[in-house]
Amino acid sequence: MSSLVLTGDTSGTVTVAAPAVAGSNTLTLQAATATSSVNVLSTAVASTSGTSIDFTALPSWVKRITVMFNGVSLSSTANILVQLGTGATPTYTTSGYISTANGCSAGGNSVVTSTAGFILFDQLAAGIVSGHMIITNISGNIWVSSNTAKRATDLVGFGAGDVALAAVLTAVRITSTSTDTFDAGSINILYEG
């Protein structure tokens, strides 16, 4: 068995040609610096103040975003809301979502819905949310979401939704269904091509 190593430079391309049969193929390799990588982990942001947390300047090749919540809490009884933005100075889409979440515990179930963003069940000022929301591009500017998170030791929330944006996605905002402020935890995103 042998290995073939092609060392790249700061620019240019590497082409691997298929055997001389009907048709030909070109394999394009991604840069080792991962600036246009298959996946990029952003920098975690403390969710300890403010009413919203934004992740901006997402590249146009993004097809999937995972929003991660670690011990996130709101100041009152609102639910967490994730909104998608478009444009260089993002305009966040605040309508047109079809989003539902369910909170399940030994005491029963509770359903919440939103047209203002992808909703993640919370509804408890003392709730500590840990989990994730996955947002995926279906085609064009149509995005779908699914989420699973624990809110307390005895409650798990899950949900899903969809939205059609007016333009290419460039940003993600994490906020609430009211004017609640964040008061604990951290939030990060992982985006993929």
Per-domain residue ranges of the chain: 39-192
Residue 22, pLDDT score: 65
Residue 31, pLDDT score: 55
Residue 32, pLDDT score: 45
Count of all residues that appear for the chain in the document:
193
Residue 125, pLDDT score: 78
DSSP state of 170: E
Residue 34, pLDDT score: 46
- pLDDT mean for each 10 residues of the chain (193 residues): 62 60 59 59 96 97 97 95 98 98 89 97 87 98 97 89 98 97 97 93
Give the integer Cα–Cα distance in Å for 113 and 116.
9
Residue 38, pLDDT score: 72
Indicate the fold that domain 39-192 takes in CATH.
Jelly Rolls (2.60.120)
* DSSP letter for each residue of 107-162: TEEEEEEESSSEEE----TT--EEEEEEEEEEETTEEEEEEEEEEETTEEEEEEEE
Residue 105, pLDDT score: 86
Q: Which amino acid is at 170?
A: T
What pTM, to 2 d.p., does this model score?
Answer: 0.81
